[in-house]
Amino acid sequence: MNAPNLLVVFHSVDGHTATIAERIARQLRGAGAVVSVAQAEAAPPPDKFDVVVAGDPIHAGQHSKELTAYLSEHAAALRRVPVALFQVSLTSAERDPEHLATAGGYVEQLTTATGLEPRLVARFAGALRYTAYGRLKRAFMRRIAASGGHATDTSIDHVLTDWDEVDGFADDVLQLTRSLAT
């Protein structure tokens, strides 16, 4: 059996979604998959891959224009290739029904806008990258973090991502890939 060929396509604003995408790719490669990683703006068409993993951060309550454009442009091909979707947001750091519904709404907005029908969906908590923010964004994010009971020390970054959850998603992608081979 040939090694599965996967594409991890993502958009990242402050770098944390890129870190998550690379972590997923590393897990997939460790299991023997051939993995290409690309930012949405420069990603290849998905039709040469066995599975596509697409990821994006939520900013101002929306997925990025870049990933949305990629998914829309390649909608026909993505209907023929299994897709696993992950989104990254501060909203997903909370597990109460209201925040879960809000994070689920972001997925629904993206799938409605693009026609995407992902086989797997993960919603990861992001990071407060205070040291990467400009003055205004740092103050804004500090206010949002404080209202959610999150870290407000702006002299350092705070990663809220559950890396075991990310690894579990990569394992689920592998299971999906293996199920296609049988």
* C-alpha span between 170 and 26 (Å, rounded): 9
Residues 168 and 99 in one domain: yes
Residues 134 and 115 in one domain: no
Of 73, 52, 75, 55, the residue nearest 63 (C-alpha): 55
Q: How many separate domains does the chain show?
A: 2
> Which residues have C-beta within 8 Å of that of residue 102, sequence separation ≥ 6?
91
Residues 172 and 142 in one domain: no
Tell me the pairing of strands 120-125 and 83-89. Answer: parallel
Torsion, Cα of 43, 49, 50, 54 (10° steps): 0
Of 46, 9, 26, 5, the residue nearest 166 (C-alpha): 26
Residues 81 and 53 in one domain: yes
Residues 134 and 101 in one domain: no
Q: Where are the beta strands (DSSP E) in the chain?
A: 5-10, 34-39, 51-57, 83-89, 120-125, 127-128, 158-159
Q: Is residue 34 within 8 Å of residue 6, measured between CB atoms?
A: yes
User: Is pTM, for the whole model, over 0.75?
Assistant: yes
Residues 156 and 108 in one domain: no
The CATH number of whichever domain residue 87 belongs to comes to 3.40.50.360
Residues 63 and 148 in one domain: no
Residues 51 and 78 in one domain: yes
Residues 88 and 54 in one domain: yes
The three-class DSSP label of residue 7 is strand
pLDDT of residue 6: 97
Residues 122 and 132 in one domain: no
Residues 103 and 140 in one domain: no
Residues 149 and 70 in one domain: no
pLDDT per residue rounded down to tens, the chain (182 residues) = 588 999 999 999 989 999 999 999 999 999 999 999 999 999 999 999 999 999 999 988 899 999 999 999 999 999 999 999 999 998 888 888 888 899 999 999 999 999 999 999 999 999 999 999 999 999 998 998 898 888 999 999 999 999 999 999 999 999 999 888 76
Domain that holds residue 167: 5-126+163-181
